Structure 1
Amino acid sequence: MRFINDSLKFSSMLLMSVFISMVLFVLISILGSVTPETLKMAIFSSEVQFAIQFSLMTATIATTLGLIIGVPAAYALARYDFRGKNLIDAMVEVPVVIPPLISGFALLVFFGNTIFGQAISEQLKGILFTPKGVIVAQFFVATPFIVRTSKSVFEKIDSKYEYIAQSLGAGKIESFFKISLPMAKNGILAGMFLAWARSIGEFGATMMVAGATKMKTETLPVAVFLNISLGNIDMALTIAFVFLMVALIILMTIRTIANYGSKYT
């Protein structure tokens, strides 16, 4: 038995090391290609500064909208039974399952060729090939992460806590905000960071909906694409380096929130 356990441990660690080695080699290939000079040049570049600020702004707005819609939707899926629930639950996954390029194309058709989509676009004074299009595309592909993580944590919270609060005079909305929401905050925050990371890294959908216009709809991924297209490999690598730093910060933040939550739940 001990031999089997040791063999299982060795094989699982070995296979894990294969993938981790691949990840490390990819990271090193980018980190090793960025020099302090190119990093300084990129940081002080007006194009990169615009791309960073624009990406942070659009991702933050898209994630905020995702929270406003995604958290109540997750609560409904976790707490209530209604006709068509399984279908709706599955539809939440659609933006995650289908390729971003197809998501962007579907949004392009919706806002460009349908009466309802055109009406929405007119009310918002234009969506296609504008900064608003970037936010819409990011919101579409990122919100499922908020719904999924929030639904999972709401399902783990016993509904009796809300019933107790309601028996003491609290309304249903009040018990949600004072009981369930605080208890689910760590899971919601984790979903929020995942959605924000997905938004800031989105490329395919934003390209289809908003285009790749320099200094207008230029997110960080678009900036990488444009610089590669123009042959500015050093600049593209430096922007990719910025991506890696953002990704590591997000991942460490998620891990910290998860570990903190596990100590107090």
Structure 2
Amino acid sequence: MRRLFWITLTLITAGYLFFWFLLIAATAGYSTPEAWLQTVMKPEIRHATGLSLLTCTAAAGTSLLLAIPIGYLMARHEFRGKTWVDAALDIPIVLPPMVVGICLLIFFQTSLGQAIEKVIPFTYTVAGVVLAQFVVAAAFAIRTMRGTFDHLSPRPEQVALTLGATDFQALWHVALPAARRGMLAAFCISWARSLGEFGPILVFAGATRMKTEVLPTTVWLELSVGNLESAVAVSLGMIVIAVLVLVTVRATGERV
């Protein structure tokens, strides 16, 4: 009876993975290598690829810088209302992407938003692409870093404090070196999430060719003009990148 239970679970898992294999295989077999090469050589695609790599790295790096202090606070400190703060940190994860873009767009129409725009223009700019990616990716980085610190014993940090270290020194010299794998995982996850971001970018930064066009908006633009082969080629490239990121995360030993 117990063996039947595990066989059933295995079949369910295998069925789900096979379903995804069929989807990817069908997409990969839709076009030809020649068509993929032609797509890659397009100036618009190369620009979108380069801009995606740049903006995703900027968004992921900024997300990690924010995730480290927030993740450490949530893992190590108890305070009133912590449950509500924890829930609020996950809001970008559960919000529909288009809603995130609308919120950004409306905020930068306010007095404060317009004052910020006078210093750094965000609406329909590359900076806006980074901000739209960051808003969502940061939530994933924070969740990953909190999980990392939760799994690390606070004992070494407590010992450092008893030896005269400050809280910052305990974080910098003890906690962060121990959390380096989690930091890599948080960066990779937020980078991959930034790469796949579409809704907020489309609403807030637009999809102007050779300006704010990134890979997800490239897929949309190619589909909108009926160029399905190019959309498929770009989609497959994003799938490959996503797989490489997941392999990197698993290699760190993190489960996110």
Q: 2:226 aligns to what SS in structure 1?
A: coil
Say which of 80, 98, 103 aligns to 2:100. Answer: 103
Deviation for aligned residue 1:59: 0.6
State how 1:10-29 maps to structure 2 within 5 Å. 10-29=7-26
RMSD of aligned residue pairs (Cα, Å): 1.4
Deviation track 1:103-130 (CA, whole Å, cap 9, x = no partner) reads 1111111112x22222222221x11111
Say which of 204, 211, 214 aligns to 1:209. Answer: 204
Stretches of 4+ moved more than 4 A in 1? none
Say which of 154, 172, 177 aligns to 1:177. Answer: 172
TM-score if structure 1 supplies the norm length?
A: 0.92
State how 1:138-153 maps to structure 2 within 5 Å. 138-153=133-148
Percent of aligned positions with the same letter in both sequences? 35
User: How far apart, in 1, do the equivalents of 2:161 and 2:141 lie?
Assistant: 27
User: Are residues 1:39 and 2:36 paired?
Assistant: yes
Contact 1:66-1:142 at 8 Å conserved across structures:
yes
Deviation for aligned residue 1:85: 2.2
User: How far apart, in 2, do the equivalents of 1:222 and 1:85 lie?
Assistant: 37
TM-score if structure 2 supplies the norm length?
A: 0.95
User: How far apart, in 2, do the equivalents of 1:119 and 1:71 lie?
Assistant: 29
Which amino acid is the alignment partner of residue 16 of structure 1? T
User: How far apart, in 1, do the equivalents of 2:40 and 2:119 lie?
Assistant: 37
User: Are residues 1:256 and 2:251 paired?
Assistant: yes
Contact 2:71-2:143 at 8 Å conserved across structures:
yes
User: Are residues 1:56 and 2:63 paired?
Assistant: no
Deviation for aligned residue 1:155: 1.7
User: How far apart, in 2, do the equivalents of 1:83 and 1:12 lie?
Assistant: 41
User: How far apart, in 2, do the equivalents of 1:129 and 1:177 lie?
Assistant: 38
Q: Which runs of 5+ in 2 are unaligned?
A: none
Partner residue, 1:239 = 234
Q: Which runs of 5+ in 1 are unaligned?
A: none
Count, aligned residues: 255
